[in-house]
């Protein structure tokens, strides 16, 4: 019995710790897109689809500013393949730089 509890604790620990360490250990690649999702449901569709693309570690998707930020493990995926995935769901994926992305997001915030 004790063994089982130990095993379970270890599994949980690895789940927690592993997730954190892997995320920091290797430098991930970030790509940004300008899109045309427009609605909250569309945002959800893109999120649910992109999160299971290979190597995807984090997502920031917003239908108001129509921006997509994908953080992924270098080598596991590419900017082009991610753009193709967004287009497959029927939305535009115009690649923009991180700087442009931040400007759009900041501008959106200002216009409020």
Partner 1 sequence: MKKYIILLFILFPFLSKAQSVSGVVFSHEANGKQPLPGVNVVWEGTSEGTASMPDGSFTLKNKPGRNKLVFSFVGYESQTVRVSDNDPLEVVLQPNLELEEVTVIQKDRGTYLSVINPIQTENISGAELHKAACCNLAESFETNPSVDVSYSDAVTGAKQIKLLGLDGTYSQLQVENMPALRGLATTFGLTYIPGPWLESIQVSKGAASVLNGYESIAGQINAELKKPDSEEKLFLNVFGNDEGRYEFNGNTNIKVKGDTLTTGIFVHASDVSKENDHNHDGFLDSPLSSTFEVANRWKYNNHRGGMAQAGFTLLWNDRMGGQVGANSDMIPSVDNPYGVNIETNRVDAFFKSGIVSQDNHRALAILTNFARHETKSYYGLSRYDADETRFYGNLVYTQDLDLAAIHVLNSGASFIYDDFNEMLYNQDVQRTEKVPGIFTEYTFKPSDRLTLMAGIRADFHNIFGNFVTPRMHFRYQFADHYTIRTSAGKGYRTANVISENTFLLANSRPISWTEDAVQEEAWNFGFAFIQNYKLLDRDLSINAEFFRTEFQQKLVVDRETSSEFIYLLPSTEKAYANSLQFDVRWQPVKRLDMLLAYRVNDIKETIGGELKDAPLTSDYKGLINLNYTTNLKKWMFDYTIQFNGGGRIPRVYEEWMNRADIAGDIFEFSPYTIMNAQVTKYFRYWNIYLGVENLTDFTQSNPIEGTDDPFGENFSATNIWGPTMGRKIYLGLRFNLNYE
Binding test (CB under 8 A) with partner 1, winner from 1, 24, 25, 99: 1
97 in contact with partner 1 (CB under 8 A): no
Q: What is the DSSP string of 3-51?
A: HHHHHHHHHHHHHHHHHHHHHHHSPPEEEEEE----SHHHHHHHHHHHT
Tokens of 13: 């620990």
Residue 30 makes contact with partner 1 by CB under 8 A: no
Task: State which of positions 38-57 bind partner 1 (CB under 8 A).
Answer: 38-43, 45, 47-49, 51-52, 56-57
Residue from 29, 32, 33, 69 touching partner 1 (CB under 8 A): that is 69
φ and ψ at 42, to 5 degrees?
A: -65, -40
In whole angstroms, the minimum distance from the beta carbon of 31 to partner 1 comes to: 15
CA 32 to CA 28: how far, in whole Å?
13
Residue 78 as a binder of partner 1 (CB under 8 A): the answer is no
């Amino acid at each position: 019995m004790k063994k089982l509890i130990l095993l379970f604790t270890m599994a949980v620990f690895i789940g927690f710790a592993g997730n954190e360490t892997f995320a920091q250990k290797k430098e991930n690649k970030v790509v940004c897109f300008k899109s045309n999702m427009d609605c909250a449901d569309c945002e959800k569709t893109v999120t649910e689809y992109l999160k299971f693309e290979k190597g995807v570690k984090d997502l920031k998707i917003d239908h108001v500013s129509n921006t997509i930020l994908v953080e992924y493990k270098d080598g596991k995926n590419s900017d082009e393949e991610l753009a193709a995935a967004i287009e497959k769901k029927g939305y535009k994926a115009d690649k923009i730089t991180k700087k442009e992305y931040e400007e759009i997001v900041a501008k959106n915030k200002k216009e409020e």
